[in-house]
Structure 1
Amino acid sequence: MGNENNKARKRNFHQARWNEPIIMEMGTKGERGILIPAVEAEVRAITGEIESLIPKGLRRKKAPALPEMSQMQVLRHYLRLSQETMGADFNIDIGLGTCTMKYNPKIHEVFVRSHKMTDLHPYQDESTVQGILEVLYKMGEFCKEISGLDTFTFQPTAGTQAIYSNASVVRAYHEDNGEGEERDEIITTIFSHPGNPAAASTAGYRVITLMPDESGLPDFEALEAIVSNRTAALIITNPEDTGIFNPRIKEFTDLVHSVGGLCIYDQANLNGVFGITRAKEGGFDMCHFNLHKTFSSPHGSQGPGAGAQGVTKKLSKYLPTPTIEFDGEKYYFQYNRPDSIGKLRKFYGVPPVVLRAYAYVMSLGAAGLKEVAEISILNNNYMLERMLKEIPGISMPMAEGVRRLEQARLSWEKLKEDTGVGTDDIDRRIVDYGFQSYFTSHHPQIISEPFTPEPVETYSKADIDEYVEAFKEIANEAYSTPEVVKTAPHNAALSTIADPEGLVNYEKFACTWRGFKKYIQP
């Protein structure tokens, strides 16, 4: 009976498809969206020519080549593009595993779009920005309680930058102790986020990667074999991207500490352990949170985010400059930090993201944050129970019988063997059911035909049921009419990728219109 209701609830989806030109190719010379009134003679007499206000070296030789369009044309263009866009608020976004895509309360947008936020300028005197400094400071206090660590900064723009900052703190610490050159290795694990080895390597370290043992957890005996006086740090997630929690994590950190190394906890995947476990009790010296995911600020996608970086007291002096302090009367930036690793970016982080996260914590409180984790775990295990029992061709490799927390690394390997339909095919076909492409799982793909869904706390049982039913139907299609899946999507705005290499070859990647023009008109 429940399954019949689920099928009745599935959407008959078909996305809009417009043959819409790029806006740079649109418009008619001389057309305008708004007519700016001429400068009054009295004003011109005081200001002089506007060109005189711009230094000669900064003046353009010719006007920028911008499209000339009416307001209606601009509105029509962007509305059509919006119809072709499948965003986080448009569909059930469970499939973006390891990215913690959740509903972002719209009241937060009221806060960050208020003139009290948008009119702020980073060059304002501290006495005029006490409100936002207080929010930043108090959010740091919340993060200290959530992690058990002693000091936080929000200067990193995103999680990977926070990892890099922590790796830089590791270097500063060992250099202070006279071991900077000797300790040149950082250990991480294959199922930690790829940002961990990338950041460590960028910081100049040799990276050693632990593989899992038969339990699906990082191999402790392998760690025993590789730690040495060259070990600078361990960077690890727990649970890893498999969703398996490591109950021996304190043994890992104790072992690394025994040879003089530091321990960094990548807590981008915090959603399943909010209020349940902390970095401090795990024996970690450092951690980071992604405020633009776990704390319900919109996912940055290489854009605005906040990697909250935390450290223990002995490492606080190395944090990026400035930190935000409170002397009992006023909040202020502390620049006098001779041992700091320096600045990671201009100004101080992304305050609107921190403000959203602050509102999120204030609205939920400690009990509410713990409930976030509990519901995330419940949602995930309910979804897995249905998927593994009802969908043909799917499996959950490694650690058989072990419960996952907030997500799980699943596999379509059997479906691929039976039908020739793999995870990339299903990734395209799910769009025809009104769901966003489900992000098959990042590299390296240790598990064959991977699929990592994460049903966070904001999805209902009905949402999960609808999601499972869609994948069940696609799996059945793979066994009955595999070509339907292989040639998908059929109901999307775009049905083919013209040049797949352009998505992975940086020499073909164009982030701007001018960059694109260089490739097609060298």
Structure 2
Amino acid sequence: MLQYQDEFLRRHIGPGDVQIAEMLRELGLESLQQLIVETIPSSILSNKPISLPDPIPESEALAKLKNIAAKNKQSRSFIGLGYYDTYTPNVILRNVLENPGWYTAYTPYQPEISQGRLECLLNFQQMTLDLTAMDLANASLLDEATAAAEAMALAKRTSKNRNANKFFVHENCFPQTIDVIRTRAECFGFELVIGSIEDINAEGLFGAIFQYPSMLGDATDLTEIIAILHKHNAIAVVAADLMSLSLLKPPGEMGADVVTGSTQRFGVPMGYGGPHAAYFATKDEYKRAVPG
């Protein structure tokens, strides 16, 4: 069992002095310092020595960091902009929500060894359908903002208003969502119209997206505005807080064509903004255009 231990150490600890000298010789360099100087632009290379304390054990470092963090003033947040603190039992946290094999958007290619994960995905999709009142859902996307941009692309592909090149974005959508939509629209050559629901002009639109509840926390019934969009052959997208749909009227009952948002509310820690899997649900007629 131990006959390859030397090879293991050499492979995983990194190159020794002999290997470093050989690599430098191959590159025509004299030292690692010369490699750094010739690799890193002078505009960002610091010539000052780094002032660091003496090394300490990990446990001691964690204790010091906790003491520093304890000085923070904890304030209750009622807004969140799509990110909200949660409590989840550790066994679920470790084995499901922090398991990349579960929260990534990619389907396993060996279903015979992934039955448990496939069952989780099926439950995830069914929960999404139950809460959004839509016909079908995919097995997640990367995050809410990305999913919103994908919804815009789907709207362009499926809208019967072929000559339209404008996409309306509700001004009270989350700012990070608007930023990603704006970036994707620039690449596609779409014209964004950002404004209030009251000012929307459905003529010339291939689609529109609304936040539900909005960034300000209001939960406007979108049934009438969605009907107006449909009258002009535009696609209605609703970026909804999935947890709130356990109480609020689901977008599917308002006539929404696409419903998307974040699943972070179901127990995933905020983690400085990610990763948080998105959900993506739509009508059956658009199933061939669903991303993921």
**Do both share a fold (TM > 0.5)?**
yes
Residues 107-506 of structure 1 aligned to structure 2 (within 5 Å): 107=89, 109-114=90-95, 125-174=110-159, 179=162, 182-204=163-185, 205-211=190-196, 218-219=197-198, 222-223=199-200, 226-228=201-203, 230-247=204-221, 249-268=222-241, 270-292=242-264, 294-321=265-292
Change (3 A) 1:167 1:300: farther
Deviations 1:453-506 (A, max 9, x none): xxxxxxxxxxxxxxxxxxxxxxxxxxxxxxxxxxxxxxxxxxxxxxxxxxxxxx
Deviations 1:16-38 (A, max 9, x none): xxxxxxxxxxxxxxxxxxxxxxx
| In 2, Cα distance between equivalents of 1:111 and 1:207 | 40
| In 1, Cα distance between equivalents of 2:205 and 2:139 | 27
Residues 19-168 of structure 1 aligned to structure 2 (within 5 Å): 42-43=3-4, 50=10, 61=23, 73-85=57-69, 91=74, 93-105=76-88, 107=89, 109-114=90-95, 125-168=110-153
Q: What is the Cα deviation at residue 85 of structure 1? A: 2.4
Contact kept, 8 Å, 2:155 with 2:235, in 1: the verdict is yes
Change (3 A) 1:49 1:252: closer
- The runs of 5 or more residues in structure 2 that have no matched partner are 25-31, 37-51
Change (3 A) 1:195 1:100: closer
Where 1:192 maps in the other structure, the secondary structure is: coil
| In 1, Cα distance between equivalents of 2:8 and 2:69 | 46
| In 1, Cα distance between equivalents of 2:259 and 2:8 | 55
| In 2, Cα distance between equivalents of 1:119 and 1:312 | 28
**Partner in structure 1 of residue 27 of structure 2:** none
Contact kept, 8 Å, 1:191 with 1:240, in 2: the verdict is yes
Change (3 A) 1:161 1:232: same
Contact kept, 8 Å, 1:146 with 1:275, in 2: the verdict is no
Contact kept, 8 Å, 1:188 with 1:235, in 2: the verdict is yes
Where 2:279 maps in the other structure, the secondary structure is: strand
Change (3 A) 1:285 1:301: farther
Where 2:60 maps in the other structure, the secondary structure is: helix
The alignment's TM-score, normalised by the length of structure 2, stands at 0.72
Moved more, 79-88 or 257-266: 79-88
Which amino acid is 1:246 matched to?
Answer: T
Q: What is the Cα deviation at residue 191 of structure 1? A: 1.7
Deviations 1:207-237 (A, max 9, x none): 11223xxxxxx31xx32xx221x21111012
Change (3 A) 1:69 1:155: farther
Contact kept, 8 Å, 2:161 with 2:233, in 1: the verdict is no
Q: What is the Cα deviation at residue 152 of structure 1? A: 1.5
Q: What is the Cα deviation at residue 286 of structure 1? A: 0.6
Change (3 A) 1:78 1:151: same
Where 2:237 maps in the other structure, the secondary structure is: strand
Q: What is the Cα deviation at residue 196 of structure 1? A: 4.2
**Partner in structure 2 of residue 472 of structure 1:** none
| In 1, Cα distance between equivalents of 2:286 and 2:100 | 35
When the two structures are aligned, how many residues end up with a matched partner?
A: 251
Deviations 1:281-301 (A, max 9, x none): 111001113111x22321243
| In 1, Cα distance between equivalents of 2:67 and 2:165 | 51
Which amino acid is 1:74 matched to?
Answer: E
Which amino acid is 2:283 matched to?
Answer: T
Residues 3-18 of structure 1 aligned to structure 2 (within 5 Å): none
Higher normalized helix content (fraction of residues): 2
Change (3 A) 1:128 1:87: farther
Contact kept, 8 Å, 1:287 with 1:311, in 2: the verdict is yes
Q: Percent identity?
A: 12
Deviations 1:238-273 (A, max 9, x none): 3322223324x21100001101100000113x5544
Where 1:237 maps in the other structure, the secondary structure is: strand
| In 2, Cα distance between equivalents of 1:49 and 1:83 | 36
| In 2, Cα distance between equivalents of 1:147 and 1:51 | 50
Change (3 A) 1:92 1:201: closer
- The runs of 5 or more residues in structure 1 that have no matched partner are 1-38, 212-217, 322-522
Which amino acid is 1:315 matched to?
Answer: Y
Q: What is the Cα deviation at residue 99 of structure 1? A: 3.4
Change (3 A) 1:285 1:178: closer
> Higher RCO, 1 or 2 (CA under 8 Å, sep at least 6)?
2
Which amino acid is 1:85 matched to?
Answer: A
| In 1, Cα distance between equivalents of 2:179 and 2:64 | 38
| In 2, Cα distance between equivalents of 1:48 and 1:316 | 49
| In 2, Cα distance between equivalents of 1:307 and 1:119 | 14
Which amino acid is 1:135 matched to?
Answer: C
Contact kept, 8 Å, 2:82 with 2:174, in 1: the verdict is no
Contact kept, 8 Å, 1:156 with 1:165, in 2: the verdict is no
Change (3 A) 1:76 1:207: same
